[in-house]
Amino acid sequence: MIGSLRGMVLDRLPPAELLLEVAGVGYRVTVTPATLAAGAPGQPLFVHVHTHVREDAIVLYGFPTADERRCFEALLGAHGVGPGLAVAILSALSPQALRRAVAAEDADALVAIPGVGRKTAARLLLELQSRLDLPLDELPTPGGPAGDAHAEVRAALAGLGYGPDEVRSAVRALPTEGSVQELLTSALRQMAGAR
């Protein structure tokens, strides 16, 4: 499999491909519109590559950062998302914006993308929470003092070795009011019952 390419851009091909020459070999690489705009003919370019193998073709997808490629691969792992839709999502949302949308459960950010309806957005929000490995500090927290208490509970659970998915579920189920000690006790009881 091809993991990355460094070479000279020979041409831009419609709708969103670059012809990238590497050591005398021209590779057609499908890219997002932003990468297409950055890939001027005659200029050097480095892209992180996802090699997508289908029955009838091998297609290379190129990304300027490894993080963008990881997000693309996480999207491909979601039910009903093909490479075209994954590229469309990353054309509209940067990896950071995608993580924020997933953490905030912002379906509207996804529905604004052509090809993503309400049901697809809801399913993506659910599936991507574990696939994107959201940092605990990006998880939604209610505002005010309760939000601070939830953040402390989240940090305590992570410190105890619970995974992001377990922490996310436990904090979501907590009441909005209560001290850190009460909320942590409640979370631990809930997690003990789930195991």
For 35-79, what is each residue's pLDDT tens digit? 998 889 999 999 999 999 989 999 999 999 999 999 999 999 988
Spatial contact of 164 and 136, defined as CB atoms under 8 Å apart: yes
Query: What percent of the chain lies above the pLDDT cut of 70?
Result: 91
For residue 17, CA distances in Å to 38, 41, 102 come to: 12, 12, 28
Q: For each of the domains in the chain, give its residue range(s) and CATH number, in order of start.
A: 4-63 (2.40.50.140), 66-131 (1.10.150.20), 139-194 (no CATH)
- Tell me: pLDDT of 120 over 50: yes
Mean pLDDT, range 109-117, rounded to an integer: 90
**Taking the CB of residue 32, how many other CB atoms lie within 10 A of it?**
22
Cα separation, 62 vs 10, in Å, equals: 15
What is the average pLDDT value for the chain, to the nearest integer? 86
CA 10 to each of CA 29, 69, 133, 162: distance values in angstroms, whole numbers, following the listed order: 11, 23, 36, 49
Q: What confidence tens digit (pLDDT) does each residue in 166-176 have?
A: 777 788 788 87
Q: If you write DSSP's letter for every residue of 100-113 in order, what string do you get?
A: HHHHTT-HHHHHTS
Please, how many CA atoms are within 13 Å of residue 52, restricted to the half-sphere of its CB? 19
Query: Is the pLDDT score of 25 beyond 50?
Result: yes
pLDDT at 24 over 60: yes
Percent of the chain surpassing pLDDT 90: 45
Peptide bond into 15 cis (omega under 30): yes
Cα 115 to its chain centre, rounded Å, is: 17
Backbone angles phi, psi at 72, to 5 degrees: -60, -45
Q: Dig out the tokens for 118 from the structure.
A: 């309400």
Alpha-carbon distance of 178 to 135, in angstroms, equals 24
SS3 43: coil
Is the model more confident about 92 or about 173?
92
Residue 74: partners with Cβ closer than 8 Å, 6 or more residues away: 128, 131, 132
Which residue in this structure is represented by tokens 């998302």? 81
**More confident of the two residues 135 and 128:** 128
One-letter amino acid for residue 10 of the chain: L
What confidence tier does 140 reach under pLDDT thresholds 50, 70, 90?
very low
How confident is the model at residue 135, as a pLDDT?
Answer: 58
| Higher-pLDDT residue of 137, 184 | 184
Lowest pLDDT segment from 1-10, 85-94, 120-129, 149-158:
149-158
Residue 158 pLDDT exceeds 80? no
